[in-house]
Structure 1
Amino acid sequence: MRLCYNCGASGHQSPRCPEKSSSAQVGGSSLFFSLLVPVSLSLSDCCVSVPALIDSGAAVNLIDGALVEKLGIPTFPCVPSLKITAIDSQPIGEGYLKCQTELLEFRVGLFHQERLAFYVTSSPANPVILGFPWLRRHDPQISWRSGELVRWSPACLERCLQDQVSRPCRTSCVREMFPTTPGHLPQAYAEFREVFSEERVAGLPAHQPWDCAIDLLPNASPPRGWVYPLSLPESKAMETALAVGHIRLSTSPAAAGFFFVGKKDGGLRPCIDYRGLNTITVPYPYPLPLVPAALEQLRGGEDFYQTGSQECLQLGLDSQGG
């Protein structure tokens, strides 16, 4: 999957990222005033994203004092203070760096993570500045034509990127909105209480006018199944399903493939291979909603709730006599 290095989204690459810093047009070509990369500072209770300026002329790594104060980042005094001057040897700000932050969890882009300390200065335009020490340590490959960081050094692949596959995503807030037991449903879902009933899942519902009929092609023979070996957990799941009435014994020669798929919670999800039956079923074409159109309705959403009904989807019910 090709993702934008700057914002992590798909559909474009970093040079054309809509969130990239502004550039000027000179003679029909883009002129980048500075090289900025997205970085994240991880604190004890939050994760803050800010743009960082890569400056090979800076002798140290810097952070804006206003940002330090706003986030409550711990600092300690520099002994002795460090003199700081501009390219014309004139002092910058007060002319001295008097304090330094503690080591912070610091991430560049999506996966490059390290612990880094910053000297505190006044730099509201560029709240984080990665200087020559940072460039020397990581030795990244930079495309000055496109104004982006292209590749990390081999040392970073072993030191800073080794956990990129297993690193969990950070979220702003995850909490259980309400217990999932039937007796503690929110009032808004009270009318659907039966959907979460463990008793109802043990049997099929009564036939209704909206039951779906499965009509077979004329002279079609139902497919035959095969016997598959089961593991010990699968055998126990089958015994439980027989006991509660989800399945029943049958001597019919017609059958469909049945297997289990592991669930995230360690359980087993029963799946049935109906492809053989589908080949002899009278097709009834009707429009289905497009997945992108369905996902579009969630765009801009902030609060998402996960509810789990009992395994009702496995209780397929044919029309009367099916």
Structure 2
Amino acid sequence: MISGIGDEDMILGLLWLRYHNPTIDWEMGEIQFPPRRRIQIKRFKGVLDNFEPEVLIGAKITASQEMAHQQQVVKKDIEELIPSYLLGYRDRFEKGKAERFLPARTYNHAIDLKPDFVPRNCKLYPLSPAEQVEQDKFLKENLQKEYICKSKSPMASPFFFIAKKEKEAL
């Protein structure tokens, strides 16, 4: 329950209300306590009470300040970023090694379709020239990293572009 008492707002918790068991008139906005019952309400000290208003107002950062800060960020060397006990595996953290799949193994498997499978006639979505360039770039990059491989399936998967907030971004 939140209550305005003079200049102070107060939050009365369920445990406090159960302990003191006041009579609350919601229509009149009044709380009455049992007679001869001593009520003690300690002054609440908020976390932000010690701060000057200027500090709170100045705590926000603008977009231009954020961009300026990002320009000043110093890139750390990879040895500084990796914990000392993992330095023996340093090569696993390098971009080239991290962007590759393990070589094919004997347990890699294919999805075999039933002999009587007939591919569904799916609607083709025409791509704009910019989307086609982006799709080709994606396919080339992921084929090179071996994240994907050329399909032998008679059925294809759709490729969709989701609009982004940035202008001219696909």
Counting strand residues as a fraction of each chain, which structure ranks higher? 1
Q: Which has the higher contact order (CA 8 A, sep 6+)?
A: 1
Q: Give TM-score, length-normalised by structure 2.
A: 0.39
Choose 1 or 2 for highest CA Rg.
2
Q: Give TM-score, length-normalised by structure 1.
A: 0.25
